[in-house]
Amino acid sequence: MKNSIRFLFFLLFFIACKKDSSETQPLDTEDSTALLVGKWRLYKDSIVNTDMYLYFADGFYWSPNAGVYIGKANDFYDFQSNGTLSLHENNQSYSFPYNLYQSRLVFPGQNVHDTAVIKKLTSLEARFEWKQTSYNGGKYYRRLYLTR
């Protein structure tokens, strides 16, 4: 009986210790570019700001507003083949360069949004995540969900 209990305990421990599949795997850059380029619909943009995350831009310190924004019909992210992202979100439009590396999307000079980890990229879905810590210990987390 003791051996049966030990075996059951060992089995449960072994099953509970499986590898975490949420880690980002490196993507092939050529395939990723083919998947990324084009117009995407914004599904959701989620920001968490803990302990007053701050970043410096235009001569001032800024703190991103936390919250969840659900995309509207006219919101989009358009990744162009020339390395330019044009986007319209929450009645604001922007355009800036981007670089695509294996599992990262880099927006040079964009302060808090400079490097995103590509968590998912298929022909129909994309998910990007940002994690930053500011000089004062504040933490910034963002998840961007796009669909086609």
Q: Is the pLDDT of residue 15 over 70?
A: no
Report the range out of 3-7, 90-94, 110-114 with the highest average pLDDT.
Answer: 90-94
* Range of lowest pLDDT (41-50, 55-64, 89-98, 127-136): 55-64
Q: Sign of dihedral through CA atoms 22, 126, 101, 138? A: negative
Chain-wide mean pLDDT for the chain?
82
pLDDT digit string, tens, across residues 106-126: 988 776 677 999 999 999 999
What integer pLDDT is reported at residue 133 of this predicted model?
92
Where does the pLDDT of residue 6 fall: very low under 50, low under 70, confident under 90, or very high at 90 and above? very low
- Coil, helix or strand for 32? helix
Report the range out of 26-35, 74-83, 93-102 with the highest average pLDDT.
Answer: 74-83
Cα distance between residue 117 and residue 109, in whole Å? 16
What integer pLDDT is reported at residue 99 of this predicted model?
92
**Cβ of 36: how many Cβ atoms within 10 Å?**
21
Q: Is the pLDDT of residue 28 over 70?
A: no
Model pTM?
Answer: 0.76
Cα distance between residue 128 and residue 100, in whole Å? 12
Cα distance between residue 116 and residue 107, in whole Å? 8
Ramachandran region, residue 13 (left: φ > 0; alpha: ψ -120 to 50; beta: rest)? alpha
Q: Is the pLDDT of residue 3 over 60?
A: no
SS3 content of the chain, % helix, strand, coil (to 5): 20, 45, 35
Ramachandran region, residue 38 (left: φ > 0; alpha: ψ -120 to 50; beta: rest)? left
Nearest to 103 by CA among 20, 42, 36: 36
Q: Which two tokens stand for residue 61?
A: 């310190």
